[in-house]
Amino acid sequence: MRFFGYLVLFALLGYGIWPYTSVYRLDDAINQPGSAPLAAFVDLPAIRANYKRRLASGADAMFPSADPDSVMNWIRQNVERLGESALEQAITLDWVRDTLRNAVTQATGQTPPYLLAGIDFAFFESYNRFLIRIGDLGQGATHVRLSLVGSEWKITDIIP
């Protein structure tokens, strides 16, 4: 019975350390030339979907859609459509790399930026989501959300 308890303890410790090892590997990937090494750590469709959701909630607040035939509803729909195509063009692996590097440089002043030096907070939000804060809270911090996608921790949202 004691062996089983130790086995469970080691499994929990391993699971708790797992996203931190991904962050360590991510630190190395953002300093590599090009964006190919970073591709294994990024889920671009998820990042775009999160930005689209935030854009849609902002459009709903700015252009309420009470009447489906109103001009405001037409404007809101066009903003959403244009926003989606703009997100496809703007959110790329290079954008993710530059955003992370700029956040770390702003937080630490280091060049080349080392992600581990800029992290002020890193912990689980839930069993399959891990939040990283680069910089001090309330001082323009960048939040990076990692999610367990398959068997890998990947960036699924960046909030600069």
Q: Is the pLDDT of residue 127 over 70?
A: yes
Average pLDDT rounded to a whole number, residues 137-143:
89
pLDDT at residue 139 in the model = 85
Instruction: Report percent pLDDT > 70 for the chain.
Output: 84
Q: Decide: residue 38, CB within 10 A, 0-12 exposed, 13-18 middle, 19+ buried.
A: buried
What are the Cα distances from residue 18, in Å, to 9, 64, 94, 96, 118?
14, 44, 25, 22, 20
Once rounded to an integer, what is the mean pLDDT over residues 101-117?
A: 89
For residue 127, the SS3 value is coil
Token pair, residue 66, equals: 């009470």
Q: What pLDDT is recorded for position 66?
A: 58
Kindly list the domain boundaries of the chain, sorted by start residue: 19-159
The whole-angstrom separation of Cα 159 and Cα 142 is 6
pLDDT at 116 over 60: yes
Residue 103 pLDDT > 90, yes or no? yes
Which residue did the predictor score with more confidence, 88 or 84?
A: 88
The DSSP bridge partners found for residue 130 are 124, 146
Compute the distance between CA of residue 2 and CA of residue 118 in angstroms, rounded to an integer.
41
Q: Above 80 in pLDDT, residue 118?
A: yes
Q: Is pLDDT of 65 > 80?
A: no
DSSP secondary structure code for residue 136 in this structure: -
Q: What are phi and psi of 80, to 5 degrees?
A: -65, -45
Query: d(Cα 15, Cα 18) in Å, to the nearest integer?
Result: 5
Contact 144, 129 (CB under 8 A): no
pTM tops 0.95, yes or no? no
Q: Which two tokens stand for residue 142?
A: 């960048």
